[in-house]
Amino acid sequence: AKAFMATHSKAYHGANSASTTDPDPLDPSTLVAFCDGSALGNGKATCKAAFACVFPHNESWNVAEKLPSLQAAATATNNRAEYLAALEALKRANVQDPSQNQPLFIFSDSMLLIRSMTEWLPTWMSKNWRKADGKEVKNVDLLQQLTLTRGRRRVLWRHVKAHTNQRDWKSTWNDKADQLARSTAQS
């Protein structure tokens, strides 16, 4: 854990706030992913969970996968599904842009994912994956994979409200990710 922290606890990049130098997520040349997880029977051994990662500018990259009930020695949960969706977005970005020069927008309705990656991660890493109360952070395995896979890529983590019944661009693509994750979990 100490070696991991020494390598990855440098100043964290990828905050949630917008900057005047941010690329336009509506630009088709921009890497943009909408990520969502679904868990039917959340947290139970019988949980049926899945994640989806939807790419508005290149739908052929879209992916949806089920989580095994006991995925990575942990019960499948909605949070694990959310983290796995973001991990899939990072993997796809690394295939498309192996030099990691192009920023990636990750839109998610999971505040846990967004805050984990933009606020809490550096502190957790510096405290050997412990929270302020001394308890171990949940899903450390996935947080470590997210950090390693992100590498030096700038990630722009953006929260989008879920289930708004709105027709704007963000809501439309978030709904597509939600529907794909849910239908995959149900199948």
| Nearest partner of 89 among 79, 99, 103, 101, judged by Cα | 103
Three-state SS sequence of the chain:
CHHHHHHHCCCCCCCCCCCCCCCCCCCCCCEEEEEEEEEECCCCCCCEEEEEEECCCCHHHCEEEEECCCHHHCCCCHHHHHHHHHHHHHHHHHHHCCCCCCCEEEEECCHHHHHHHHHHHHHHHHCCCECCCCCECCCHHHHHHHHHHHCCCCEEEEECCCCCCCCCHHHHHHHHHHHHHHHHHHC
pLDDT at residue 112 greater than cutoff 70: yes
Q: Is 9 exposed, middle or buried (0-12, 13-18, 19+ CB in 10 A)?
A: middle
Which of the given ranges, 5-9, 21-25, 148-152, 163-167, has the highest pLDDT on average?
Answer: 148-152
**In the predicted model, is pLDDT for residue 3 greater than 70?**
no
pLDDT > 70? residue 71: no
Does residue 69 register a pLDDT over 80?
no
Range from 40-44, 64-68, 120-124 carrying the lowest mean pLDDT: 40-44
In the predicted structure, residue 10 carries a pLDDT above the cut 80: no
Residue 16 has pLDDT above 60, yes or no: no
**Is there a contact between 24 and 30 (Cβ–Cβ < 8 Å)?**
yes
Q: What pLDDT is attached to residue 24?
A: 85
Q: Domain residues of the chain, as ranges? A: 2-17+30-186
Can you give the pLDDT at residue 124?
96
Residue with tokens 């005047």: 20
Asked if residue 4 has pLDDT above 60, the reply is: no
For the ranges 4-18, 33-47, 96-110, 111-125, the lowest mean pLDDT is seen at 4-18
Q: Within 13 A of 146's CA, how many CA atoms are on the CB side?
A: 29
- Which range has the worst mean pLDDT, 17-31, 80-94, 98-112, 166-180? 17-31
Q: How confident is the model at residue 29 (pLDDT cuts 50, 70, 90)?
A: confident
Beta bridge partners of 39: 49
> Per-residue pLDDT averaged across 88-106, rounded?
96
| Architecture (CATH level 2) of domain 2-17+30-186 | 2-Layer Sandwich (3.30)
Pairing of strands 31-40, 48-54: antiparallel
Average pLDDT over residues 104-109: 96
**What's the chain's average pLDDT?**
87
Distance CA 59, CA 39 (A): 23
